[in-house]
Chains A and B, each alone.
Chain A
Amino acid sequence: MPRLGSARGGAMPLTRDLPTGLMDALAPLGRQDIECAVTTDITPDGRFGREWLVVTTNHLAVYSDEAAPRRRLHLPLVHLRDVQTEHLIGCGALIGTVRNERCEILRYTHRHAGTFGEVASYLRALGPHGLALARGGDAPRPEFTGDEQGERLCPNCQRPLRGTEKACQVCARQGQVVRRLAGYLAPYRWRVVLVTVLMLAALALNLTTPYLLGQTTDFALDPHHTLSYASRISHLKWYCLLMLGFGLLAQCIAVWRSRAVVQLGMSLTHDLRTILYAHLHTLSLHYFDRRQIGQIISRVTQDTQALESVLTDGVQFFLVNILQLVGITGILMWMNWRLTLLILLPVPFVFVASTLFWPKMIALWRRFHHARGKMVATVNDALSGVRVIKAFAREATEVDRFTAMSRETMISDLAAEQTWSTIFPFISYVAGLGTLLVQFVGGVSVIKGDITLGTLMAFMFYLGMFYGPLQFLSRISDFMARSTASAARIFEVLDSVPEVTEAPNPIPAKHLRGAVEFADVFFGYDRHKPALKGLTFSVRPGEMIGLVGHSGAGKSTIINLLCRFYDVNQGAILIDGIDIRKLCKNDLRSQIGVVLQETYLFNGTISENIAYARPDAPLADVLAAAKAANAHQFIISKPDGYDTMLGERGVGLSGGERQRIAIARAILHDPRILILDEATASVDTDTESQIQEAIRRLTRGRTTIAIAHRLSTLRDADRLLVMREGRIAEIGTHEELLARDGEFARLVEIQQGMSEIVGV
C-alpha cells in the first residue's frame, strides 16, 4: 500500500481525499511514496468527469474512472521534460514533452487552473532532479506545495475559499460587520453617549407637548369647566409658558445633538477614509490589476460616506424611532387602552404596504440611477472623443445616441416618481384612517363623558407622532442591507493582504553596485498563465541592456519584477547577489529609477514633480537635473517657470515635455538601477534626439534596462536581449545579433521596411 507523502512525514494537502478505489489501484506500484495527487474535472473525451494525476517518486500516472480506476497514462519522470500549462478557451491542458514528443497529460476546467499551474511548476522543478536520478546523483528533491485553490468551498455558503483563508470572507463579514463598525466608534464612545443622552432628552421633551396640550384643553379651554375665569386664564398662561419653555429646551438640545452628530460623523468618515487610503498604498499592484480604479475611488469616497450615514444618522434615527414608538404606545395605553387598540388597527396594513412598496421603489430608483449613469458616461465618452466624432462626421449619431439615453433616463425617472406619488399618498391615507376611527370613537366617548376633550386632543397629537416612525421602521431592513453592502466593500479592501511583503528581517541596501541577475524566473500575472518562462540572464553594474521583442513577449514583466511590483512564482531575482525579496523594499525602490512610457505627472508645480522622489533637494539641483534632461529651456519659457502648475488645473505639456520632466525626475532621484520603458515612443524626431541626449546623460554609470520599440534607439545598449513568448530568444550586442541573422535581424528588417513606407 503506498504511503501518502510520508517522505515529509505528513499527508500532502491534495492527497488526503484520495478515494479508496484509487488507493487500491495504486497498490501495485509497490512501496513508492505518492508525492502529489490532484484531481481534474474533464475526461480526455471532453466530458465532465474526474481523473487523477498521481506523481510518485519515479513516475507520473493519470487514472480515470473513479469507481473502477484505470491507469490511462504512465510515464517515467526521467523522460518527462518541459511541463507547461496551455491556456485554452474555457479549459486548460497540462502539456509535457516525452522523448522529444509533445504529449497532453490531461485537461482541466479553469476551476483547477491554479492547481495545475502549481503542478506544472513542480514537475518542471522535478526535471533536473529526474536527471540527477537518472545519473545516480543525489540532488535535493523538490516538494509539491500546491494549495487547494479552487477546490475548497466555504462550508456555510459554498463560495470558493481563496488562498489559505479558513472561513469565507462574506460569511465572516456578515457576522462581524456590526461589531467591526462599532470598533471604529470606540474612540468616540463619550461622544456617542452624549449624543444618545441628548437624543433621549429631546425625545422626552417632545413627548410632553401633546400631554400639556390635553391638560390645557381640560383645565383652561373646556367651556363646561367649573374653574373660575381668572383661574382658567392662569392655567392657560402657565401651560403655554411651560410648553414654550419645553419647546425651547427641546430645540436647544436638538441643535446641540445635531452639532455633536455632525462632528462624530465627519471624524468617523475622516478616520475610515484615511485608514482605507493608507491600506490601499500597502497593497501590491496585483490588487489594482484586478479592479477598476473608479471602483476603488468610489470605495474611498462614497462608501465611507455611506457608512458614516449609517453609523451616525442611521443608528440615531433607528433608536429615536423605536423609542418614540415604544414611548407613545406606552403613553397612549396609559391614557386609554381601548382607543390605543383602535390606532393599532391600520398598523399591520401600513407595515405590510410599506414593506411591499419599498423594494419596488428601490428597484425603480436603481433603474433611474443606472440610466442616468449610462447617460453621463455617454456624454463623457463623446466629449472626450470629440475630435474623432468630428473627423468622422458622426455628430448626428452621437446626438441620437444621447437622445436615446436621455429618454431612457426620463422614462425611468418618471416611473419612479409616478409610482411614489401614487402609492405614498394612499398609504398615508390608510394610516390616517386610524385617526378618523379615534376621532369617531373618542368623540363618542367625550360626548358620553367617558373621557375628557383634553385626553382626546392629546391622543390625536400623539397619533400624529406615531405613524412616521412606523414607516421608517418598515424601511430599516433595506437601509441596513445597503449600509452593510458599503461596509462589506470597505472591509474587502481592509481585509486584502498585500502579496508583496517585506521580509521579516530585511537586508538594508543603502548603496547597491547594481549587478542584476535573473535566475530561472517563472512568473505569470495569473499563476497558471506564465508570462516569463525560466528566464536567466545577468547584467553587470553600469551595463545598459536593451529589451527587444513583440508586445506580450514579457519585456514589461521583467521591469515589473525588478521593481518588485510583483514577486516571482519560481526562481529568483538577485541584486548584488541578494534575493530582492530579502532586501528592504524601500531601499530597493529608492535605488531604482523609472522613466515610463506613460509619464505620470502629479498635480503640483514642475519643480515639485521633478523633486518628487527627493522633495528636500536643493533648488539648484532641480535646475541642474532639468538642464541635464533638456527640459530647462521649455520650463523657463513658461511665465511661471518652475512654479508652473501641472495636472488637472494646470497647463498641458506635450508628450516630449512630459518625458523630459520624467527624465529630470530620474536624474535627481539618482538611482543605481535605471529602467526606461519606451521613453521615446511617441515623440517627433527633434524631440527624440533631445530626449536621447538626455537619456545618454542619465544612463552614464548606471545599470540600465531599457525597452524600446524603435530598435535604432537602443544602439547605445551594451547588449540586447531579444524576448519571445516569455523566453530569451537571443542575447548579444547590436552587431552580433545582426550578424546572427535571427529574430533580431528579422525585427530590424521589418522596422526598416516600415520606415521606408513611412518615408514614401
Chain B
Amino acid sequence: MILPSPTMSLEEASGLRLLDPARLRIWWECASLRLELLDESCHDRVSVLRAFPISKPHSHYILRDDRGREIGVIVDPKRLDRASGEAIAIELERTYFTTTIERIIKVTEQFGTIVWDVMTSRGARQFTSRDGRDHVMQPTPERILLNDIDGNRFEVTDISRLDHHSRILLRNYL
C-alpha cells in the first residue's frame, strides 16, 4: 500500500480511528449512553450507527459524540464486555426500528400498490408498498427487505423459514 509514509497505515492516513473493544466501556446512565475510553476520555450521549446495517449488521459500529463527531469504529463488537455489548444493543434497537415478517396472511393488489397483511415480530400489521421491484431489496437470496410507501422497512430474514403459503405470496409479488 502506497502511503505518505511507509510506516503509516491507510487508517492512520485517513484519520479513521479503530477502537479496541478491550479498552472501552459503554453503559446507560440517565437515559444517555456513555462511553469511556480507558485512560483517555469519557463521552456522554453517545450515538451508535451501523456502517453496514444490511450486509454486516453485527460489526463495524460507528460511535459518535453528542455533537455528531465521530469517536471511532468498533470493528468487532463481539469482543466487547457483556455489559457494554448489551448497552450498545439497546441503542441499536432504538435507532434501527426494523420489523421482521413472520407470516404473510394476505396480499392484495390495488391500482399500482400492494397491500400486505402480515404477522410481524411486533404484532399484526398492514402496510402498502409500490408495485414493481423498486420497493424490494434482496441482499442475499434468502433475505428480503420491503420498503412501504412511507419509508418503513419490513424484513424477511430467511425465506425458507416462512410457511408455504407465505412463501408463495411473497414470490408472486417479488
Q: Report A's interface with B, CB cutoff 8 A.
A: 605, 607, 619-621, 623-625, 627-628, 632-633, 636, 639-643, 645, 649, 667, 670, 672, 697, 700-702
Contact = CB atoms under 8 A, between A and B. Distances in A.
Given A624-B11, A628-B14, A643 B53 contact: yes
A623 B2 CA distance: 17
A642 B50 CA distance: 9
Interface string B39-74: 000000000011111111001101000000010010
5 contacts: A607-B52, A619-B56, A620-B60, A623-B16, A636-B49
Contact of B18 (A607, A620, A641): A620
Given A619-B52, A628-B13, A702-B2, 16 more contacts: A619-B75, A621-B10, A623-B73, A625-B10, A628-B10, A632-B16, A636-B51, A636-B62, A639-B53, A641-B49, A641-B51, A642-B51, A643-B54, A643-B55, A643-B139, A700-B4
Interface in B53-103: 53-56, 59-60, 62, 70, 73, 75
Given A628-B13, A640-B54, A643-B55, A620 B75 contact: yes
Top 3 closest pairs, chain A to chain B, by CB: A628-B14, A643-B54, A627-B14
A463 to B, nearest CB: 46
B134 interface: yes
B38 interface: no
Contact of A619 (B3, B14, B51): B51
B1 interface: yes
B14 A624 contact: yes
A649 B133 contact: yes
B123 interface: no
B149 interface: no
B168 interface: no
Contact of A643 (B1, B2, B14, B52): B52
A620 B55 contact: no
Contact of A620 (B15, B70, B73, B134): B73
B73 A641 contact: no
B138 to A, nearest CB: 11
Nearest to B5: A701
Interface of B: 1-4, 9-11, 13-16, 18, 49-56, 59-60, 62, 70, 73, 75, 133-134, 137, 139
A649 B51 CA distance: 21
Nearest to A514: B2
Given A605-B55, A702-B2, A620 B49 contact: no
Contacts of A605: 54-55
Contacts of B13: 624, 628, 697
Contacts of A627: 14-16
B93 to A, nearest CB: 15
Contacts of A639: 53
A642 B11 CA distance: 17
Contact of A701 (B3, B50, B73): B3
Contacts of B9: 624
Nearest to B57: A643
A495 to B, nearest CB: 37
B16 A620 contact: yes
A632 B72 CA distance: 12
A633 B15 CA distance: 13
Contacts, number: 76
Contacts of A623: 16, 51, 60, 73
Nearest to B49: A636
Contacts of A636: 49, 51, 62, 70
A649 B15 contact: no
B2 A670 contact: yes
B11 A641 contact: no
Contacts of B70: 632-633, 636
Contacts of B55: 605, 607, 643
B127 to A, nearest CB: 17
A641 B50 contact: yes
Name, among A627, A670, A697, A702, the residue most crowded by chain B CB atoms within 10 Å (CB to CB).
Answer: A627
B53 A624 contact: no
Nearest to A591: B2
A640 B73 CA distance: 16
A633 B14 CA distance: 13
A724 B4 CA distance: 34
Nearest to B10: A624
B139 A670 contact: no
Nearest to B75: A620
A7 to B, nearest CB: 50
A642 B15 CA distance: 18
A621 B18 CA distance: 11
A670 B50 CA distance: 26
A574 B56 CA distance: 44
Contacts of B1: 670
A639 B49 CA distance: 9
A620 B17 CA distance: 10
A701 B2 contact: yes
Contacts of A672: 2
A590 to B, nearest CB: 13
A514 to B, nearest CB: 9
A420 B28 CA distance: 79
Contacts of A621: 10-11
Contacts of B52: 607, 619, 641-643
A667 B2 CA distance: 10
Contacts of B62: 636
Most chain A CB within 10 A, of B14, B55, B73, B133, is at: B14
A541 to B, nearest CB: 11
Contacts of B10: 621, 624-625, 628, 667
Q: Which of B10, B13, B52 has the most CB of A within 10 A?
A: B10
Contacts of A649: 133-134
A576 to B, nearest CB: 15
Given A639-B53, A641-B53, A672-B2, A620 B11 contact: yes
A296 to B, nearest CB: 25
A346 to B, nearest CB: 51
A250 to B, nearest CB: 34
Nearest to B64: A636
Contacts of A632: 16, 70
B137 A645 contact: yes
Nearest to A648: B134
A518 to B, nearest CB: 23
B4 A701 contact: yes
Nearest to B96: A639
A670 B10 CA distance: 10
A639 B2 CA distance: 33
Identify which of B4, B13, B49, B70 gathers the most chain A CB atoms within 10 Å of its CB: B13
